[in-house]
Amino acid sequence: WYQRRVRVQINTFIEMSFRGRGRGRGGGGRQYDEGPPESVVKIGKLMNLCEGDLVLRADNEMVPYFNAPIYLENKQQIGKIDEIFGPINEYMMSVKLLPNMTADSFKRKQPFYINPMKLLPMSRFLPKPPAPKGPKVKRVGGAGGSFRGRGGRGGGRGRGGGRGRGGGRGGGRGRGGGGFRGRR
């Protein structure tokens, strides 16, 4: 009886622990064979072989998705992108071959192709330019009305003190910090 009760409590805890958070991680996206794409674009040329994988040097300005299928010119799939590495302006990628393929069957500088829908623009990986500077807006108060700019509820009244939650050096319980940040 006791074991059954504990098991029920554990199961209840597990169910409740993910409530409101989308039931854990991952999208549950199933991998399925999409078939050959309508069109393919050149992604790169074979540079080298490494432990049964192909190493391609990119010829395309766009960056492929991880696990994106790689094709020959006739749209026959040969493998999937495993890793992307190297400098951002001349990156390389390794291709994990399908089980029925061997790396020795490809020639050096042979072109390989990818579905254009599996490419991202390079701008997604570059730092964004700084925002234009405008007039500074001075905020008065801050979170919870503290005058030091820190501490949520109940903080910001000097050393400790204050009403309600917070205050003190430890910050009290609950949300918001105490607001005490040492002597100035």
Mean pLDDT of 17-45: 67
**What 3-state class would DSSP assign to 103?**
helix
Tell me, what's the pLDDT at 124?
Answer: 87
Determine the Cα–Cα distance for residues 115 and 75; give it in Å rounded to an integer. Answer: 9
| pLDDT tens figures, 136-182 | 666 665 555 545 555 555 555 555 555 555 555 555 555 555 555 66
pLDDT at 33: 66
Closest CA relative to residue 104, chosen from 143, 157, 150, 51: 51
Provide mean pLDDT across the span 46-74.
94
**pTM: predicted TM-score of the whole model, two decimal places:** 0.55
Q: Is the pLDDT of residue 4 over 70?
A: no
In the chain, at which residue ranges do the beta strands (DSSP E only) sit?
A: 41-50, 53-58, 63-64, 69-71, 77-85, 92-97, 111-114, 119-120
Overall average pLDDT of the 3-15 stretch:
45
Average pLDDT over residues 27-43: 75
